[in-house]
């Protein structure tokens, strides 16, 4: 007889369970000990651990993304998006990609200083830096830690171009820096929108800003001259794909000038975590969602090849791509890799430090 207790969703959290990471020797599961205690579990608190880093700029050679260097001020993300492809990285810390990912966070308080050191290296070559490639730089902890703001202050002082990806309205807090950088063609901000349905958003991405707040933040940045774009990411087959045109239209109305989309990706532990979420929150659609996803992934829930991992293959994937293309053309959203607003890397210049000898020319 299996005494394992069924997992139940926790209020304000995305993952239903906290499965053991793939590198651990032992696994954990809750079992029925016969006491039949029915009290609700207390809310899960968030723990933030300061992380000592030797460097903060990561580099990649992926042919299907538009940047080759990035910076993430935080590991883990309190937004709790159940579909987040960064969840499996928590296993490298001996933690679960489930609830641990959204409740045990790592902050990098030295990120601004380490970034400045990197930018002053004699051999450094200036290229746009992506902030928030894995986890959101404006997740709730940023409100008091202000690490992302410190990073932007360094980039602004160095005239270094930056792209920001977020689903938080907190980005508006830094409008003073962003507007100034935008006047020098040094910044663009992409907002991730998965759904316009606030009820669905509360379970898909429980601690992210509500969709209407993201659109309002996009509007405020756009009105201040900050180039903005929308990332319809991820598109979830048979759950959110019907909203594609509405999301693009709402973003264009809010001032977005570029758009992109990504088909749902489920690497490693994310396959089970997302399937579990579907059974808990959308049981009547679970099989259809997973079946449609397998159609776009050569019969699997995930295929990691560069050529198809972002878009998928097959009839439904092709139809989604065509719908996106037509909607962007109708709404005037630029689909180019530079987002329709190329950033200026020619302004880059490390500012003199106190005591430095000034340049003659």
Domains of the chain: 47-264 (3.20.20.70)
* Residues in contact with 95: Cβ distance below 8 Å, sequence separation at least 6, in sequence order: 21, 101, 104
pLDDT of residue 39: 57
Q: 163 pairs with which residues across the strands? A: 130, 188
CA 14 and chain centroid, separation: 14
Report CA torsion sign: 203, 209, 212, 218: negative
Within 10 A of 132 (CB to CB), how many other CB atoms are there? Answer: 27
Structure tokens at 59: 């580099």
Q: Nearest CA to 9 among 197, 281, 210, 289?
A: 281
Rounded CA separation 252/167 (Å):
16
Within 10 A of 243 (CB to CB), how many other CB atoms are there? Answer: 20
Within 10 A of 36 (CB to CB), how many other CB atoms are there? Answer: 6
Rounded CA separation 115/289 (Å):
42
Q: What is the CA radius of gyration of the chain?
A: 21
Q: 261 pairs with which residues across the strands? A: 232
Can you give the pLDDT of all 361 residues of the chain as single tens digits?
Answer: 444 545 678 889 999 999 988 888 777 766 556 665 555 667 789 999 999 999 999 998 888 888 899 999 999 999 999 999 999 999 999 999 999 999 999 999 999 999 999 999 999 999 999 999 999 999 999 999 999 999 999 999 999 999 999 999 999 999 999 999 999 999 999 999 999 999 999 999 999 999 999 999 999 999 999 999 999 999 999 999 999 999 999 999 999 999 999 999 999 999 999 999 999 999 999 999 999 999 999 999 999 888 889 999 999 999 999 999 999 999 999 754 444 458 999 999 999 987 776 665 5
149-170: string of b/e by CB count within 10 Å (b at 16+)? Answer: bbbbbbbbebbbbbbbbbbbbb
CA 145 and chain centroid, separation: 19
Within 10 A of 177 (CB to CB), how many other CB atoms are there? Answer: 16
């Amino acid at each position: 007889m299996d005494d394992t207790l069924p997992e139940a969703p926790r209020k304000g959290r995305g993952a239903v369970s906290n499965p053991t990471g793939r590198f651990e020797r032992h696994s954990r599961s809750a079992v029925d000990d016969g006491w039949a205690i029915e009290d609700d579990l207390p809310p899960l608190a968030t723990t933030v651990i300061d992380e000592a880093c030797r460097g903060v700029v990561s580099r990649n050679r992926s042919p299907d993304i538009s940047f080759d260097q990035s910076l993430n001020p935080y590991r883990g993300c309190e937004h709790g998006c159940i579909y987040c492809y960064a969840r499996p990285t928590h296993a490298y810390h001996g933690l679960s990609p489930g609830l641990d990912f959204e409740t045990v966070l790592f902050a990098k308080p030295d990120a601004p200083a380490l970034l400045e050191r990197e930018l002053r290296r004699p051999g450094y070559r200036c290229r746009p830096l992506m902030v928030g490639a894995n986890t959101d730089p404006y997740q709730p902890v940023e409100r008091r830690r202000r690490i992302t703001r410190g990073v932007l202050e360094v980039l602004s002082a160095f005239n270094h171009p930056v792209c920001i990806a977020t689903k938080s309205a907190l980005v508006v807090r830094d409008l003073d820096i962003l507007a100034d950088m935008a006047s020098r063609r040094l910044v663009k901000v992409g907002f991730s929108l998965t759904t316009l349905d606030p009820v669905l958003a509360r379970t898909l991405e429980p601690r992210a800003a509500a969709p209407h707040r993201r659109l309002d933040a996009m509007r405020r940045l756009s009105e201040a001259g900050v180039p903005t774009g929308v990332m319809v990411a991820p598109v979830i087959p048979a759950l959110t794909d019907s909203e594609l045109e509405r999301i693009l239209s709402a973003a264009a109305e809010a001032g977005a000038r570029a758009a992109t989309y990504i088909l749902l990706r489920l690497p490693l532990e994310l396959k089970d975590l997302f399937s579990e979420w579907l059974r808990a929150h959308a049981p009547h659609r679970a099989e259809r969602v997973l079946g449609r996803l397998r159609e776009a992934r050569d019969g699997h829930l995930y295929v990691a090849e560069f050529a198809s991992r972002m878009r998928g293959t097959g009839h439904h994937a092709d139809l989604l791509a065509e719908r996106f293309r037509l909607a962007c053309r109708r709404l005037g959203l630029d689909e180019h890799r530079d987002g329709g607003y190329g950033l200026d890397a020619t302004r880059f210049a490390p500012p003199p430090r106190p005591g430095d000898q000034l340049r003659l020319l």
